[in-house]
Structure formats: structure tokens, C-alpha cells
Structure 1
Amino acid sequence: MKHHAVLITVLVALIVSLVSVSAIFWEFYKLNHEQYINHIFTKYTVITQIYREHQQRQSSEVMLEANLAVYDIEMIKDEKQKRTILTKSKILKREGFKSFNTSLMISEKGMYTKNTVTNLRATMLEYKKAIYFHIETPNGDILIRDNDLKPYSYINILYTYATVFLIISLSFVLVLQKLRPLIRLRKKIALYGKGNMNVSFKTSSEDEIGSVANELDKARRKINNILESRTLFLRNLMHELKTPIAKGTIATQMLESPKQRERFTSIFKRLETLVNEFAMIEEVTSLNDKKDFSEYRLVDIIDGAIDMAMVERESVSVDVPADVKIQANYRLYTTAIKNMIDNAMKYSTDAHITIRINEEGELCFESKGECLKHPLQYYIEPFTKENPSKNSYGLGLYLVDSILKAHGQVLAHEYENGVNRFIFA
């Protein structure tokens, strides 16, 4: 979901827009239809007046038809047709009302006015695309067909709705088309992040996404050049340093003074260790993916680290179940554990370290000693010292932290009852 947030947002916007437009047009259609029905329904008053006059004067049906024909209204006289229409037609509107009629009357007492109230009901019907009016009175009823009026047509509204619907849909299709380069760019960036340094972001497009892609390609080339220069520099530096270190180590053995020989041997050994650590750091920082990772038993990695540290087995207590396995780069992870052993041998008060798995399933390194005087972050920096009178921490913890980050872990520290506890969390 998160990888397609923009696409999903666009689709949701499209759906909301289309639903909103559809709802608006539906409400407009209902309102317009109702107004149309109400407008043409008013014609029943003319029909009612003609029919009432016909009843009052008791004129002939010929006269009634003639009066209705003036308004292009046709009376349905066939009873069978009339029943069919009344049965099968659709009622558009029906309304009951009272008709008031005033007439002048003469009696023995003289002239007077007589008011007559008649209950009427008018029904507007639709049958086979024609409009009919059914007028009912206490004295009878009449069904007429209005040839002027046509049923409500929704074609214009449907045409307008379809046009708006199509325009919105096409607009969103164009937006999605513009987003396609962004999706391709995201995939290329992912490939670059996985270590494919030759992937190209360059594009011929001149829009905003194209500009971003071309700038990314420029940045990619610069980063590649910097990485190549750094790698070449480190490799040449380490190669050039190893030769004089080897020569210096050989020359040291020719010194007659044991004190001087021991001092220079320590110096060259330290230089060789630093060169190897630099090489390891270069390897860690160049680790782009986990293709070199495999599953190993943790006890096997710890055994390899003890051998690499060249310490007595009695100096290391291992309390790790044999069935615990991890995905790791064997050489790098072994180096990280070896550095933790070296660190304990150097700074613990009894030159002993315990390696175990805690309750959270994390690898712990415990050794007796004084509590760290600074936060752990201080010691992760290269070449920091706990005490100027002692040797530098060098690149040991910095290298451990870098290796753990490459494995998706972090280095943590806690102090309890005179014991320093470093944790691979």
C-alpha cells in the first residue's frame, strides 16, 4: 500500500469525483423531472374547466370534443382502450381538489346566488410515450390525450453527464500517464539502492519528473565517481602500507636490543592491525545487499571469533544454545565478535568475558570492569580513548557498529553490579 500511495490517492480522487458528479446529476435529474411534471400538470385546470362547463350546460360530446381540439386535446371514447390506458399507464401525478361554481338563481323571494362545491380528482398518466389526463367528478369521468405534451426526456441530461464523466476520466488517465515515469523512476532508485550502480535515471522528458530524473542521474554519476575514487584510494593506500610494514617487521628482528625490538614489533603489529581494520571498514561500507549472507549456527561463529582473537579458551565462557542460528556474513560477523573479545581482554579487570543469549534472544558480552564514563556513542567514534594512559579503542567498536548496521542490528550497552554488558540488539 505504502509503495503505491500516490497511485491509490489518484484513484480514490477519481472515484470520489465520479461518485460526486453522478450524485449531483442524479439529484438534478430528479429535480428537473419533478419541475417538468409540475409544470405540465397545470394544464389540467383548462381541461377541468372545459369538462365542468360541458356538464353544467349539458352540451353534446361533439361540442366537448371541439372545445378540447382547440388545445390539441383528444378525448378517449373507446371504453376498452380507456380501461387499458388506466390499467397499464404510469401515474405521473395525482391531485384531489374542490371546484367552486357560483350561479345566479331566481326564486319566489327574488334572485339569489348559489355556490356549488364539487369534489374533483385529476390524474396525469404516461402510456406509450403519450400524456393523458384523467378527470374524475361525482357525475362522471373523462380520459383525454394531450397531443402537445411529450413525456419527460432525460437524453440531454444523460448526454451532459456522459460528457462530464468522460472528461473527468480522461483527465485522470492523463494524470496516471504522467505518473508512469515516476513509478519507473522509483523502481530504478530501488535497483540503485540494491547495488546496481550502472542503472540510468536519464530521460528525454522535459517535465518536472523528467528534470528530477536527470538530476538524479547526475548525482548518480558523481556518487559513482566518488565511490570509485574512495575504493581506489583505500586499496592503493593499504597496498602501499603493507609493503613497508612487512619490511619494517623484518628489519625489526635484526635489532640487537630486545627492548627496541619489542617496541618496534609492537608498533608495526599495531600498524598492520589498523590496515586490516581499514580494509574491513571498506568491505562493510561496500556491502550493498545480503547476497553473501548465509545461515550459520551462532556457536560456530563464536568459535571462529575466539580462534581469530587468539585467546585462551578458559578466558571466554560461552552460554549460547547450539540450535540458535542467524543470517550473516560469516567473516564480518566473526570479526565483530572477535573485536568484542579483544575489547574485554583489554579493559576487563579479570581478563575474562562471558558470551550468552539474554531473555530477549539478544547476544550479550559481559565482563567485569569500571562503567563507561561516556555514552556508548562516544566510543563508537574511531580512535576514542577511555583513559589516555591506556591504548586507544582504535577502530574496534566503530567497526563492530558498522558490521552490526550492515546486519540490521545495533550495538547497545548497560552496566549492572560491576559488569559491563554489550548487546547485539
Structure 2
Amino acid sequence: MKLINQFTIWYLGISVIVLLIGGVLIFYKLESEIDFEQGKELERQLDNYARRMEFMDNPARLKKDRLEIRELPLEAELIPFQVNDTLAWHEPLEQVERQVKAGRSYLINGRHFYMSTYNIMIESDDITETVVQTMITIFLLLLVFIVVTSRLVSKKILRPFHQSLHKINDFTFKENAPLEFEPSRIEEFEKLHEFLRKMSLRLLSDYKIVKEFSENLSHEIQTPIAITSGKLELLLNSSISNQQAKWIAAAYQSTQKMSKTVQSLATLAKLENQEFEGTQRLDLSRLVQKSLAGYEELITIKNIALHQTIIPAIQIEMHPTMAEMLVDNLLSNAIKHNQSPGYIHIEVTENRLAIRNPGHQPKNDVSEFLERFKKGNPSGDSIGLGLSIVQQICRIHGLTLDYQFCEGEHRICIELQNCIRM
């Protein structure tokens, strides 16, 4: 969920709570104010009637539908102003309704009179309906206002944030330049930019050190490996015993394995550091067939039957070097971990690249073989980096790699995206 949507939801949630509390307070305030004003109005009416009675000989002539006048003994105590509810006939509605009734007694021209009058009461249901309608209207207006203004304001306030995200997304080690951000008047963004700038400088420094170390190590190791391999080849061609030949052959294989390990680790480092930049449209079908042709002799020697389902002219967007490494490592893995006699099923369609081959039951979960230096046979010739390279290439290009061992077969399937058939 986007940040602005979370802000909007929180604001609306807080607004609903405030409006509910405010609605309850407004209800009770309105009810008390209306009762107070109705009582005051009825008191003013009674006082007005009392003043008029001072100039009348017969107070009975002042009696009206809603005015009651009753004479009390002169010695009786004055009754103070009081308000209560009553039921009375409401003429316009033609029914009995709850009404508010007020009364008090007056001494007028040496006589004691009690007067009372009543009026229609504004009921709680009417007040509730008014308050609810008002609150709903306010909430809808607030909803529209928050949604519209939050979108407009967020574009301005969060513009530095989105610009920072764009710069971080475009940051690469290959450019060898730290992150630089446009100045912002928001203090939090400035602190974030300063932290990111320092972090990018540290990353570039560490990357440079690690890259130089790995390049120097690779270069320095390859030279003695080449010398050692050359000397071992010379020894193999000289007069030696069978036992010495076996030892020399084992040493030669170890140097070759070391050379492959260094090259594979260097390749993984380049992949992780995104040193293979840029993609182009490639013919995956032709690339697979070309790679198969290169392994043809090895497939024949190992007595492996090849079954192909390759739809021609399947196009894929990928860096050429990484595409070649992907296909070569998959085929090499299928040949190396096969049986004799065995078979390889390879399928290339618009949706996937799949390879199946028979093999021994792995002791561990096959998903572990996608990690570095993980292999099914620890004593085998494999260095355990081929599938790691395949996995890293798939991650870079957003492809899904699925590896399973099922029914005596190693099954590797890569779900392809943005592939077309020309």
C-alpha cells in the first residue's frame, strides 16, 4: 500500500472517531440548549400574561387553549417556576404528543393566581436525525476534501522522496559515483539524503577494495595454476611409473578444478555487481541449438540420448554473455549429472525453458544445489557453482527458476517472460 493511501486511511479513521464523539457532544448540548430556551420562552409568556392580568377586572377572559389560570388561597406560598413534561392534544398533528409544560404562581392585585402553559417538545429523535444528517454531510465533505487535497499536496511534499527512490534505483557500482540528491526544505528528507550519500560512499569504497582484491587474487592464482598445469603435463609425457602417473593426473585435475572455481567465482561476482549491463533481443532457440552442437561429442561419448522440443525463433531480452552462460551451465549440469546410458529432454517454448535428465537420488533437498558450493556428490568433479550462476542470472532478469527431483529425474524449468516467437 502506498504511503499516501495509509495517511488518507488514518486521517479518515481519526476523523470518524472525532465526528462520532463530536456528534454525541453536539446532541446533548443541543438538547439542553433547546430545553433551556423552551423553558425561558414559556416563562416569558407567563410573565407577560401576569402583567396583562394586572389591568383586567376578570382574569378568566385571558384563558386560552394553552393557558390555564387557577386562583389559589392568598395565604398559600408562591409556587416557583417549574418545567416538566406532559401529554396533550396537538391540533395540527391531530394526536396526543409529548409537550413541555411550565407554570408558576403570581400575586396580582391582592389575589394569588397559578398560571401554566405548554408547547410542543422537540423530541430526541428529531435532534438525533438532525445531528446524524449534519455529521454525515460533514464527513462526506471531509472525505472528498482529504482525498483530493492529499493527492495534490502529497505530490508536492513527497516529490523529494520519489526523486530519492529513483536515484537509489539507478545507483550502480559501475558508474563509481556516490548518490547526490537535490536540496529539500524538509528536515527528515535532508537527514535521509545525508545518510544515503555517506552509505553510497562507503559502499563504493568497499566495492572497490573487494573488486581489486578479487581481480588481483584471480590474476595471481591463474598464473601459478597455468605453470603448475604445464609442468604436470610435461611430467605425464615423461617416463614415470603408473602410480606416479595417477598422482600427477590427480594433481592436474585439481589444478583444473581450481581454475574453474576461480573463473566461476569471478563470474558470480560480476553478476552480483551488475557488471553485465544492457540487454538485447536474442534467438533463444538458436542459442540452445548452438550450445547443443558444442556438447555433441561429449553427449555421444557418455551414451546420452537427446530429445528436443525446440520451437524455432523464440526471442528473449537478455545480455548475450549471460544468455550463453545460462544455457551452457544448464546443459553442462544435465550432462555431468546424467547416467550412462541416459537421456536429456530439452524443451524451448514461448513460456519456458525446461531440461530433464535421469540421475541418482540426492541426499539433500535439491533447492540447496542453487546455493554456492552445494552439490549432490561431494566427491564428484563438479565445483557446485553452475546452478548458482543460473540462479543469479534468473534473478537479474526477473525469471522464475524451479528445480525438482521427481520420478528419478532432475527437472529444471525456467519460466520465461516477455518472450515472443518471430
Matched, 1:257 2:247: no
Distance change >3 Å, CA 245–CA 222, structure 1 → 2: same
Number of residue pairs matched?
324
Q: Which has the larger radius of gyration?
A: 1
Match of 2:279 in 1: 293
1:335 aligned to which of 320, 325, 335: 325
How big is the alpha-carbon RMSD for the aligned residues of Structure 1 and Structure 2?
4.7
The amino acid that maps onto 2:238 is S
CA shift digits 1:252-294 (9 cap, x unpaired): 5655339588666645543443333122201210128x96234
Q: What percent identity do the matched residue pairs reach?
A: 17
Match of 1:188 in 2: 164
Match of 2:267 in 1: 280
Local SS of the residue matching 1:363: strand
- 1:25-424 equivalence runs, <5 A: 27=27, 30-31=30-31, 34-35=34-35, 37-41=37-41, 42-52=43-53, 54=55, 56-57=57-58, 97-102=66-71, 184-185=160-161, 187-196=163-172, 198-200=178-180, 214-248=194-228, 254-255=234-235, 256-257=237-238, 266-287=253-274, 292-306=278-292, 316-322=306-312, 324-349=314-339, 350=341, 352-356=343-347, 361-424=351-414
Local SS of the residue matching 2:66: strand
Does the 8 A contact of 1:188 with 1:199 survive in 2?
no
Does the 8 A contact of 1:202 with 1:214 survive in 2?
no
Does the 8 A contact of 2:367 with 2:404 survive in 1?
no
TM-score (norm 1): 0.59
Local SS of the residue matching 2:333: helix
The range that moved more, 5-14 or 320-329, is 5-14
Rounded to whole Å, the distance in 1 between the matches of 2:203 and 2:365 is: 33
Shift of 1:380: 2.7
TM-score (norm 2): 0.60
Local SS of the residue matching 2:368: helix
The amino acid that maps onto 1:298 is L
Distance change >3 Å, CA 98–CA 3, structure 1 → 2: closer
Distance change >3 Å, CA 103–CA 393, structure 1 → 2: closer
Rounded to whole Å, the distance in 2 between the matches of 1:351 and 1:345 is: 9
Match of 2:116 in 1: none
The range that moved more, 304-313 or 381-390, is 304-313
Rounded to whole Å, the distance in 1 between the matches of 2:34 and 2:297 is: 96
Distance change >3 Å, CA 196–CA 20, structure 1 → 2: farther
